[in-house]
């Protein structure tokens, strides 16, 4: 079978870093390709990096068909869920993927035909207890809270990622992805004009911190004394709230730190499993 590479699907998930790619290549050379590549017909859905490395070094691989796909959106949703559940990705990437899933599901709900309305209210069946009929179900992931649960992040962090996607210059997005600036600091810098964002990125980490701090201080000065601050504090020492930070901001910081702690525990668990598998494979090869 001739495997077809869809460039949109290959670029749908952020590529591996150089270190991650080198680690994968070393694993495939040492152990072979143990996981089957996932296809939809001839189209490669999962395993683009493995496929390229296997072809480069002549490593044998297996393929498996996913017969549940009915559309490209089905493929995208599967890719999102697969990476959210399996791959060690950054909080920013996780938030972006969950927001993409929300957009797909909401577009589907909007395109679905509306249920036929009864001729008049008298024909509307009552509920089992005789009360008024229930409200129609909301589309999946219709709320920021639902997106946050899917991404295993705080709602404040999801809101910050939405701000970055909406207003951040490409250079600022790249800085977030590389870890040069945290999500919350980037969300603050993203409120600046695009030209100022680019200048801040060019100035490096210290300049980005300074720009984020200035934005927060300006917002704090402009806020009326009796107006509560928005929740969603920082994620690192460059994001420490200013002296005017109130309880709501501190609560947002706690939520973000808890989400980060949960993510670290998940990463440690994944590394533990990977180490056990590697030791098992090494023991088998040495027998």
Across 52-56, 72-76, 278-282, least confident range: 278-282
Residue 255 has pLDDT above 80, yes or no: no
Task: For residue 69, name the pLDDT band (cuts at 50, 70, 90).
Answer: very high
Per-residue pLDDT, averaged over 118-145, amounts to 57
Q: Which residue has the higher pLDDT, 22 or 229?
A: 22
Q: Which pLDDT does position 270 carry in this prediction?
A: 74
- Strand-pairing partners, residue 4, are 43
Mean pLDDT comparison of 132-141, 142-151, 231-240, 262-271, highest-scoring range: 142-151
Q: Which pLDDT does position 285 carry in this prediction?
A: 59
Residue 235 has pLDDT above 80, yes or no: no
Q: Which pLDDT does position 121 carry in this prediction?
A: 47
Q: Which pLDDT does position 237 carry in this prediction?
A: 42
Domain ranges, ordered by start, for the chain: 1-70
Gap between the Cα atoms of 77 and 12, Å rounded: 11
Q: Which pLDDT does position 284 carry in this prediction?
A: 60
Gap between the Cα atoms of 91 and 196, Å rounded: 25
Q: What is the pLDDT of residues 39-56, one digit of tens each?
A: 999 999 999 999 999 999
What percentage of the chain exceeds 90 in pLDDT?
55
User: In the sheet that 63-65 helps form, which strands lie side by side, from edge to edge?
Assistant: 43-46, 37-40, 63-65
The architecture of the domain spanning 1-70 is Alpha-Beta Complex (3.90)
Task: For residue 87, name the pLDDT band (cuts at 50, 70, 90).
Answer: low
Gap between the Cα atoms of 144 and 211, Å rounded: 27
Q: Considering the chain, what is the average pLDDT of its residues?
A: 81
User: How does strand 43-46 pair with strand 37-40?
Assistant: antiparallel
Cα 54 to Cα 41, 62, 135, 218, 274: the distances in Å are 20, 11, 53, 54, 21
Contacts by 85-88, CB closer than 8 A, 24 or more apart: 88/267, 88/270
Per-residue pLDDT, averaged over 241-245, amounts to 38
Listing DSSP states for 37-79 in one string gives: EEEETTEEEE-HHHHHHHHHHT----EEE-TT--SHHHHHHHH
């Amino acid at each position: 079978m001739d495997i077809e590479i869809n460039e949109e699907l290959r670029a749908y998930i952020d590529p591996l870093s150089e270190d991650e790619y080198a680690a994968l290549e070393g694993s495939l050379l040492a152990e072979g390709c143990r996981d089957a590549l996932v296809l939809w017909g001839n189209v490669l859905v999962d395993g683009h990096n493995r496929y390229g490395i296997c072809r480069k070094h002549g490593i044998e691989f297996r393929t498996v068909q996913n017969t549940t796909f009915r559309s490209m959106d089905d493929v995208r949703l599967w890719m999102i869920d697969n990476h959210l559940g399996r791959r060690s990705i950054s909080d920013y990437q996780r938030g972006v993927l969950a927001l993409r899933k929300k957009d797909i599901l909401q577009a589907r709900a909007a395109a679905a035909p509306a249920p036929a309305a009864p001729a008049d209210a008298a024909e509307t069946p009552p509920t089992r207890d005789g009360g008024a009929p229930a409200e129609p179900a909301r589309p999946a992931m219709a709320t920021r809270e639902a997106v946050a649960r899917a991404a295993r992040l705080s709602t404040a962090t999801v809101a910050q990622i939405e701000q970055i996607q909406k207003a951040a210059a490409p250079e600022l997005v790249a800085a977030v992805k590389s870890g040069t600036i945290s999500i919350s600091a980037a969300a603050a810098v993203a409120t600046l004009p695009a030209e100022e964002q680019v200048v801040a990125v060019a100035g490096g980490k210290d300049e980005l911190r300074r720009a984020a701090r200035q934005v927060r201080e300006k917002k704090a000065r402009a806020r009326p004394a009796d107006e509560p601050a928005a929740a969603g504090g920082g994620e690192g020492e460059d994001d420490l709230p200013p002296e005017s930070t109130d309880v709501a901001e501190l609560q947002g910081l706690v939520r973000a730190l808890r989400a980060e702690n949960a993510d670290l525990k998940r990463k440690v668990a994944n590394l533990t499993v990977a180490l056990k598998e590697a030791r098992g494979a090494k023991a088998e090869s040495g027998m």
